[in-house]
Amino acid sequence: MTDSMADASRATKAAVDKAFTTYDIQACLYDVRRVRYLQAAIAQTVSPGDVAVDAGSGTGLLGLFAAKAGAERVYCLEFNADHISLIEENARRNGLSDRIIAVHADATSYELPEQVDVVISEVISAGYFYEPQLQITNNLRRHLKPGGAMIPLAMQNFVELICAQEDLYGLKLNFDTRFTELDGDRSLTDSQMYLGNRFEDWTDPVISGRVRLTATTSGRANAVKIAYRIDFAQGISGDKPTDFLLNPQIVFLEQPIDVRAGREFDICLDYVASNSPLEARITVAAAGA
């Protein structure tokens, strides 16, 4: 087994060991802007008679949207066993029990009993940290019929150097990462894409990003900001944070670096998708150094 394969195997196991809590599920359910993006993508993509899968189903919401759009069968895959009865009850109360098949399963390895027309899976965060989105879509794309569709369709991740606020509540908080931007955060460079992928294609969960950034202002860079854009379906995209989705990840550097306007910097990001940003190896060096 190669090192890359071993890392990917460990990543899949790490992803399997994680499960959303009821709190997380509720946060997704009532994030109206997030839901509207996905609802519009499903309505545009799913056709009457389709077979679909909703991976990381939670409450079954996206599977219910697919059924209402005309899907004949929807496999709602959910890792948390406690949520299976919730999916089934939501389907019953909406008159869709005959179309919804709730399955307690690990979507990173589950073998669907048939080929499907549409794969729906949104367990996404900036940089693919924490969430096994890539492991899920890498698995389920194998079950997609020729000409089938993925929702979301694609994603692009961007990185920039910033001077991040460290002091809060009278304390210095500059170790753990955060997905909340603070008033004191200040961008120091341009933003460049280091990873772009379409979910219908296999994407290595062992990520190695390399980009060159240009400083737009002088300052002391103590963190990177990783932001992202999602193409939910053709013509339906978003990059502005909602309550739960599209929030950037602020990752503090082990060693801050002084930047001067006009200088270029090479940044390397090495990590395994679904792991914590604290496990990432991020290095920054002046170009040509």
CATH number at residue 34: 3.40.50.150
Instruction: Kindly state whether residues 242 and 223 are assigned to the same domain.
Output: yes
Instruction: Kindly state whether residues 173 and 144 are assigned to the same domain.
Output: no
Instruction: Please tell me the predicted confidence (pLDDT) of residue 86.
Output: 96
Q: Which CATH number goes with the domain that contains 281? A: 2.70.160.11
Provide the number of structural domains found in the chain.
2
Instruction: Kindly state whether residues 63 and 195 are assigned to the same domain.
Output: no
Instruction: Kindly state whether residues 12 and 33 are assigned to the same domain.
Output: yes
C-beta separation of 176 from 237 below 8 A:
no
pLDDT surpasses 90 at 26 = no
Instruction: Kindly state whether residues 71 and 192 are assigned to the same domain.
Output: no
Instruction: Kindly state whether residues 177 and 273 are assigned to the same domain.
Output: yes
C-beta separation of 78 from 87 below 8 A:
yes
Provide, rounded to the nearest whole percent, the portion of the chain with pLDDT above 70. Answer: 93
Instruction: Kindly state whether residues 95 and 198 are assigned to the same domain.
Output: no
Instruction: Kindly state whether residues 143 and 275 are assigned to the same domain.
Output: no
- Does the global pTM surpass 0.85? yes
CA gap 174, 168 in Å, rounded = 10
pLDDT surpasses 60 at 14 = no
Q: How far is CA 92 from CA 11, 48, 95, 102, 235, in A?
A: 36, 20, 5, 12, 33
CA gap 277, 129 in Å, rounded = 6
Instruction: Kindly state whether residues 87 and 140 are assigned to the same domain.
Output: yes
Instruction: Kindly state whether residues 97 and 217 are assigned to the same domain.
Output: no
C-beta separation of 223 from 267 below 8 A:
no
Q: How confident is the model at residue 166 (pLDDT cuts 50, 70, 90)?
A: very high
Residue where a domain terminates, one of 153, 174, 200 = 153
pLDDT surpasses 90 at 2 = no
pLDDT surpasses 70 at 6 = no
Instruction: Please tell me the predicted confidence (pLDDT) of residue 112.
Output: 98
Instruction: Please tell me the predicted confidence (pLDDT) of residue 58.
Output: 96
Map tokens 């569709």 to a residue: 149
Instruction: Kindly state whether residues 145 and 160 are assigned to the same domain.
Output: no
Residue where a domain terminates, one of 153, 179, 210 = 153
Please identify every residue annotated as catalytic.
122, 131
Domain, as residue range, for 268: 155-286
Instruction: Kindly state whether residues 165 and 271 are assigned to the same domain.
Output: yes
Residue where a domain terminates, one of 120, 153, 186 = 153
